[in-house]
Structure 1
């Protein structure tokens, strides 16, 4: 007969008396007792836990000293087991992490994949890990899904798949959001909110999740328990009563609670839990068979939900088959990352401050009970105490539930000393954070805490009552600083403790970085932001540190490594630098960087190559990679490889959206090579020739395409005109550009202005004709409303045709003087915004030209005449290029051989036009000048391949 037969009958009678549907309620309650009975009867002892629960940790420490198991089976991803040995080198809390950036077998949109399992000192799992690792002859076996199997379930489960797609990180967010870690618990002026992002977008594995599946049940428990959230309910009705209970009572209550929530759990979540249970029991039976371990010498540590399992594979004597799927070809990387109380709370939906309160409760329970916990030797932040060895015989299962459920809790005594200490400390902390708190507020907090505890049916105030009382009495109606009183209470009761991974547990890349930065003389493991000063002129050995810091700035999120003084660009090296370093605070990003390679140089090269060969890569992306490789890595081979990729991408592009960025980057690269090397690289020459032909081909379409902006067309023309001399020397044909401009027939005013500027640069449109067209538009009332868009095009034309600056100043002056206010005023803000966003480099050009054009003082302004009105250019006849005149023309006409030689050099047929009027005295003066300096004329003729002819008057 079962030991729980009497309890089963009592629950059945209660269901029939109080439930509206006694059949269903009785079945649930009786089934819960059956689950407890079944779990207790299992030959392999099952230890049910709740994660980050002080009562679970206390019961675990007691049971391990009593039973001394030889094998501990732990509910943890089996491929994370090797990481547990590195916990000695860490300061808790930390998280075990499995990470994969290159996935094979899963949805590509999920990449990168990350799984974390946080470990805190106030947890039963840590007690089991410390016992197994510190006790000789004890084996620790992780039996849960591997990380690969976890995502295999996500792949096959439709609900999980859709949820995962919604949370998938973007391609420009490698790994995890660009956020920094939280403060250390000792620092009171850190950033509290950042600690919640320590785990990033990782899938969390919580050992022993006991949160009910039905929202209605949770709401019912919170309402009748007079608490605000689930963590407070658990602390009051489960945590505190179980902390002083015996092992049998603890085990039975946890099994009962686990069975209740299991039976009320959502069907999809329950199916996932049952699949994990089949996996774990199969792994445990395999290990027992392979090792020959007696099940009585083993302990199975799992969440209470899994302890009350009803799958057919339950138990070591079960012979139900279960086939474990093969892992995919995804390459998983493993490491330890810092965790924090707030990160655990945020990831698993716990109340803010609950994990910190649990840590404080754990320390208090240890002092009260006298139990010596297990700790890893040499671990930071812990003190090792000698264990009290005790070997007690196991006792058969007895009904402890009936007494526990029917006996009211013992009235606890008010700890006045503890409450007074809390009140004094919270007032002191509030003053530091800007609150006008006083001793009267401390007294009010004490009295209000006792009052709230009485109203909620508690014998003594809990930390949650103290929080509410402090908020009521101190915060009042305003928060003077960054922290509110509730956050100050969390700091007081334990703080957002942040863990740290020790040097020996870091990946090779992180160790290499710390070693290479050692000459800075800083302790980079500290969680404070440190200032590094580098005088590279007097201490040249620090240049290696500077190189590492600039690469880390490129690879790590903003704020981890931040330059205060100094810069590095093409051809630019600072002699003094100043850095703010937060590698100890943001240790997680350095650890995840170590998953990608062995050195920062290798990781940087991989990222640049990945960016250049990405499916959505453009020529601009490849040129950016070339620039980063030149600045940070050096070396010709990799740069040439990226440059060849840029040429390939440019030739394959069918749009010109990135033309402004391409023009800016290629100009910068050409200037660098011309200043530092005797000859341009082959890929650079090929890029210029390919770009010249490519943009000539796309130019007519870009002029007429409405989706192509004026800025993009201006950048194309800037490339064609700016690279024209180099492109022609490399074999390009200028006729291709002339044909492309002739074929362009734009309709938008801005593009029409660009086409006119291009024709002016090519010589098919004179400045006088262009001025006449603009004056005609200003005089046409039908065109005046659209004239600002023409003017915007002229401003953008300064990119390809810089010599147009005087004309743009002239047209803008005329526009400001003649356009009506209802046209001019709406256009000005639009022009300023466009220039600021798209072409900020053009503003100084216009400013300098305006400074040269307009007078510099008010008296001079009265007598000032615009230069475009003082000299009027003659309008040339249609279809005829005006003949050159002036001293230069006369000089050239007097020496036609030199001009003929220059024309022959460029493959042109020399055609001489008669001057409009006789040279006269000007001709005689030029001839006399040449006669006085015959050597200059002879040298010019020799340079052009001609012969100096005698000059006659």
Structure 2
């Protein structure tokens, strides 16, 4: 390029200057922009180190790259890609494209914590210039591939805002499916990104080009004209477009600074490499986006200024790997129209057939159809070692002629209509529509055919493009509604090539992912295959499958929903399934499995790290920490980790001042206690301390929770449930029951549900009898001012079944009394409130009420009229008092015959002392006089025994 004639673009400068004067009434800003564009192109063409401008996933760029590599055969290829991703590129041969090179960091140092996890991806497709350069460099002996773009760490260092996903795709595009989320929220490395940043310019191009979105404009006015152009024309046109978009970009200072710093970074790295190796710039090729090729920074070129200082990286530890990608994921991440990457793959195949260019392909690439491309690469490698076989290009042999003037003056080439191709499209889309529920027919195929031609003519095109055909198909087939999951637009995208989804091969997987595949080999499934597969585990007959079961349960805990879903079998504390059935989709969720490999070398290690991270998080609650204890016991069977996390739960409980998590704490502590009592000889020390601390903790918070409006009745009921159900263990550990009695005595709620809950608690403590509780409910029903709030009292009684399950029959009695005593004008208005209150506040406790009601109420409708509720049963008036006293006397004689039983009962009732003389009668007589019903019941039990 050094021999380029300085006047090569002189004629073009003159023409643009005349045009600027004619359209802008004299020289000015327009002239400066137009002549500046020519200067940018001239400067890039004159650079001794050949600059090859590309566009992201452009078939024209890929074709031109393959052709240029075979002509020039450079010894060094500089590529605009994060320099820390270089070691991964050799693993591309073990994958099926498209895949993405990823840098991933879960723990950040030097970045805001809310940015984590950090992820940078660079998707690679076969129809891209980057892949052609990578394949050539890796499979050609003596060729070095050097990545020169900023590191993944610098990507986030230079981002002053929170990392966000790329711009939204075309608004007319269908909703993204699961493949569109393969890259997650990663920041994309926009290799060769080429799109106007000046909104008015893009709108102008779309309107005058009669297209709907940018992808269609690029396909029509750049891809097709440059598909079979020569090298110099391609370079100059791409440099022209890049310079135009750069000069018309809005003045976003941050984005301009980042773009220029990237260019300074890349040229600094290239000069460092040239100086260190002594390579001749003429033997090198610099592959970058057209936007960066037309750079005006002082560091541009091999003779540029060495004034840019590259800052150090942060202490963040980055993990690198390959993840599966897809056409839809690339479109979603980079804001392309849906289906544009699939159409680009189709155009790439057509370009190869038309131009006869041999593409480069990595040797052993997964999915290769034949060894033809590999042989071509070997031939190119042999030619590269033979200096006499060099093929000179116009840029290397002398002056590069001005190709822009001819290209800009040339009228658009109108491709002739390929009726066979369009007819095949029309027939195929009708067939696909019928398979998806549309009532399409041959007439619709004809309509799509004719409408495609009509739309192309209206848009000044002789040959309908895939986008014209897509619009025609939607117009003629979709009608009013979409009968299936896919609309016609999506069906056209699938027909044009579909959403190809890449796959990372076994050898390119991280150690964790390979370990998972190895441990699941006994299942005899193709785990790398996409879609859902059913796995049947008969652990009873094949005990070795229990290890597979352990792996699957951990994957279910770590991977997104759907990756491993149990159909039959469950894992609970103290239980193990003897048969299990699973739906596995590890191939579909390969990206998530690979990212697990960035966190550790085994799933056990990753799970342990995540449990610790959850337990020691600043906002961890007692309930979440207890969940980690349960998971450590359930999945890892690690007593050591469970004890450590249990101690953390004790610390969290002591520091909590809220009772929001009380229901979850109660549920998990009960479950852990039941497990340890059945599987361990003694309780772990941490859970004993937890019960003791929790007893004192909830006693302290109980009076405040009863009056706090933010504390719900369910939370207060859970606190009482903890206190009453753990009372025996807490008292055995040294707690004082007086503390609970004082807490209840100091509670004075005003809310009806909490008031009913307090009554239930006092009943449990013996401060209220059933008769007192029944009397209070009767007073509520007798007071017309309180009747509307009675459902809320019932809600409190229902919640009281958690701490005081013995009140189940009383709650049934309270509800039954309301229905029996209230008249319909009073009952019917608050009946909906009662139903919604019971459903929202006590849905999980309703089975207790239903079971108790089924026990109390008669089983047949005919028996209902003569049925008397047990709470209304009175002593039989036909039995005289003397008979009842005689019955009690028999009880006295029975007690005298069994003095030991009498002593035990007396001790329970609080009566101490010795037996009296025979004349005075035994002490049991006094007890019988005070408690005749108890004596009678005891006599019946002893007689039955």
Same fold (TM over 0.5): yes
Secondary structure of the structure 1 residue equivalent to 2:544: helix
The equivalent residue for 2:241 is 257
The equivalent residue for 1:557 is 560
Secondary structure of the structure 1 residue equivalent to 2:567: strand
CA distance in structure 1 between the aligned counterparts of 2:891 and 2:724, rounded to whole angstroms: 26
CA distance in structure 2 between the aligned counterparts of 1:36 and 1:659, rounded to whole angstroms: 70
Secondary structure of the structure 2 residue equivalent to 1:397: coil
**Mapping 1:728-739, distance limit 5 Å:** 728-739=731-742
Secondary structure of the structure 2 residue equivalent to 1:310: coil
Change (3 A) 1:919 1:576: closer
CA distance in structure 2 between the aligned counterparts of 1:351 and 1:782, rounded to whole angstroms: 66
What's the offset of the Cα at 1:301? 0.3
Give CA-to-partner distance per residue, 1:776-826, whole Å, 9 cap, x none. Answer: 111111222222211111111111111111111111111122345576456
The equivalent residue for 1:95 is 100
The equivalent residue for 1:940 is none
Of 298, 302, 305, the match for 1:319:
305
What's the offset of the Cα at 1:837? 4.9
Q: Structure 1 residue 333 and structure 2 residue 319: aligned? A: yes
Change (3 A) 1:577 1:918: closer
What's the offset of the Cα at 1:925? 12
What's the offset of the Cα at 1:13? 0.9
Confirm or deny: 8 A CA contact 1:809 1:846 kept in the other structure.
yes
Which runs of no fewer than 5 residues in structure 1 stay unpaired? 169-189, 874-884, 937-953
Of 320, 341, 355, the match for 1:355:
341
Secondary structure of the structure 2 residue equivalent to 1:87: helix
What's the offset of the Cα at 1:867? 1.5
The equivalent residue for 2:469 is 466
What's the offset of the Cα at 1:436? 2.3
Secondary structure of the structure 2 residue equivalent to 1:568: coil
CA distance in structure 2 between the aligned counterparts of 1:551 and 1:838, rounded to whole angstroms: 34
| More displaced 10-residue stretch of structure 1: 316-325 or 14-23 | 14-23
Of 501, 517, 538, the match for 1:535:
538
Give CA-to-partner distance per residue, 1:87-142, whole Å, 9 cap, x none. Answer: 00000000111111110101111111111110000000000000000001111111
The equivalent residue for 2:411 is 408
The equivalent residue for 1:242 is 226
The equivalent residue for 2:646 is 643
Q: Structure 1 residue 78 and structure 2 residue 83: aligned? A: yes
Change (3 A) 1:929 1:413: closer
Change (3 A) 1:465 1:610: same
What's the offset of the Cα at 1:347? 0.8
| More displaced 10-residue stretch of structure 1: 544-553 or 641-650 | 641-650
Confirm or deny: 8 A CA contact 2:456 2:464 kept in the other structure.
yes
Of 617, 623, 626, the match for 2:626:
623
What's the offset of the Cα at 1:7? 0.3
**Mapping 1:141-160, distance limit 5 Å:** 141-154=146-159, 157=160
The equivalent residue for 2:354 is 368
| More displaced 10-residue stretch of structure 1: 222-231 or 15-24 | 15-24
The equivalent residue for 1:758 is 761
Give CA-to-partner distance per residue, 1:522-581, whole Å, 9 cap, x none. Answer: 111111211111111111111111110011001111111111111111122111111111
Change (3 A) 1:887 1:707: farther
The equivalent residue for 1:784 is 787
TM-score, normalized by length of structure 1? 0.90
What's the offset of the Cα at 1:417? 2.2
The equivalent residue for 1:666 is 669
Secondary structure of the structure 2 residue equivalent to 1:46: strand
CA distance in structure 1 between the aligned counterparts of 2:45 and 2:331, rounded to whole angstroms: 32
**Mapping 1:849-928, distance limit 5 Å:** 849-871=852-874, 914-915=926-927, 917=929
Change (3 A) 1:828 1:503: farther
The equivalent residue for 2:57 is 52
CA distance in structure 2 between the aligned counterparts of 1:903 and 1:712, rounded to whole angstroms: 39
What's the offset of the Cα at 1:381? 2.1
Q: Structure 1 residue 797 and structure 2 residue 800: aligned? A: yes
The equivalent residue for 1:946 is none
User: 4+ runs of 1 displaced by more than 4 Å?
Assistant: 820-838, 885-913, 918-930
Q: Structure 1 residue 113 and structure 2 residue 99: aligned? A: no
Which runs of no fewer than 5 residues in structure 2 stay unpaired? 1-5, 167-173, 381-388, 877-887, 915-922
What's the offset of the Cα at 1:829? 4.5
Secondary structure of the structure 2 residue equivalent to 1:637: helix
Give CA-to-partner distance per residue, 1:632-654, whole Å, 9 cap, x none. Answer: 11021111111111111111111
Q: Structure 1 residue 690 and structure 2 residue 689: aligned? A: no
The equivalent residue for 1:274 is 260
What's the offset of the Cα at 1:422? 1.6
Confirm or deny: 8 A CA contact 2:791 2:837 kept in the other structure.
no
**Mapping 1:89-238, distance limit 5 Å:** 89-154=94-159, 157=160, 161=161, 164=163, 193-238=177-222
Give CA-to-partner distance per residue, 1:605-657, whole Å, 9 cap, x none. Answer: 11111111111111111111111111111021111111111111111111111
Change (3 A) 1:592 1:899: farther
CA distance in structure 2 between the aligned counterparts of 1:910 and 1:329, rounded to whole angstroms: 79
What's the offset of the Cα at 1:902? 9.0
Secondary structure of the structure 1 residue equivalent to 2:929: coil
CA distance in structure 1 between the aligned counterparts of 2:106 and 2:139, rounded to whole angstroms: 35
CA distance in structure 1 between the aligned counterparts of 2:769 and 2:315, rounded to whole angstroms: 67
What's the offset of the Cα at 1:402? 0.4
Of 8, 27, 31, the match for 2:32:
27
Of 286, 290, 310, the match for 2:272:
286
| More displaced 10-residue stretch of structure 1: 680-689 or 467-476 | 467-476
The equivalent residue for 1:9 is 14
Confirm or deny: 8 A CA contact 1:794 1:808 kept in the other structure.
yes
Secondary structure of the structure 1 residue equivalent to 2:565: strand
CA distance in structure 1 between the aligned counterparts of 2:800 and 2:899, rounded to whole angstroms: 36
| More displaced 10-residue stretch of structure 1: 321-330 or 902-911 | 902-911
Q: Structure 1 residue 428 and structure 2 residue 431: aligned? A: yes
Confirm or deny: 8 A CA contact 1:714 1:800 kept in the other structure.
yes
Change (3 A) 1:369 1:896: same
What's the offset of the Cα at 1:830? 4.7
Change (3 A) 1:556 1:906: farther
What's the offset of the Cα at 1:20? 6.2
Of 284, 293, 304, the match for 1:307:
293
Give CA-to-partner distance per residue, 1:202-253, whole Å, 9 cap, x none. Answer: 1111211111011111111011111111111111111111111110000000
Confirm or deny: 8 A CA contact 1:255 1:304 kept in the other structure.
yes
CA distance in structure 2 between the aligned counterparts of 1:549 and 1:238, rounded to whole angstroms: 50
Q: Structure 1 residue 382 and structure 2 residue 368: aligned? A: yes
Change (3 A) 1:65 1:724: same
Change (3 A) 1:19 1:760: same
Give CA-to-partner distance per residue, 1:881-939, whole Å, 9 cap, x none. Answer: xxxx9988986788777777899899997798944739999989999999x99xx9xxx
CA distance in structure 1 between the aligned counterparts of 2:223 and 2:548, rounded to whole angstroms: 51
Confirm or deny: 8 A CA contact 1:887 1:923 kept in the other structure.
no
Give CA-to-partner distance per residue, 1:659-686, whole Å, 9 cap, x none. Answer: 1111111111111112222221111111
**Mapping 1:931-946, distance limit 5 Å:** none
Secondary structure of the structure 2 residue equivalent to 1:267: coil
Give CA-to-partner distance per residue, 1:681-715, whole Å, 9 cap, x none. Answer: 11111111111111111111111111111101111
CA distance in structure 1 between the aligned counterparts of 2:795 and 2:628, rounded to whole angstroms: 33
CA distance in structure 2 between the aligned counterparts of 1:572 and 1:811, rounded to whole angstroms: 39
Q: Structure 1 residue 38 and structure 2 residue 22: aligned? A: no
The equivalent residue for 2:442 is 439
What's the offset of the Cα at 1:199? 0.8
Confirm or deny: 8 A CA contact 2:99 2:504 kept in the other structure.
yes
Confirm or deny: 8 A CA contact 1:890 1:922 kept in the other structure.
no
Change (3 A) 1:549 1:829: farther
| More displaced 10-residue stretch of structure 1: 891-900 or 652-661 | 891-900
Confirm or deny: 8 A CA contact 1:281 1:314 kept in the other structure.
yes
CA distance in structure 2 between the aligned counterparts of 1:919 and 1:301, rounded to whole angstroms: 100
Secondary structure of the structure 2 residue equivalent to 1:527: coil
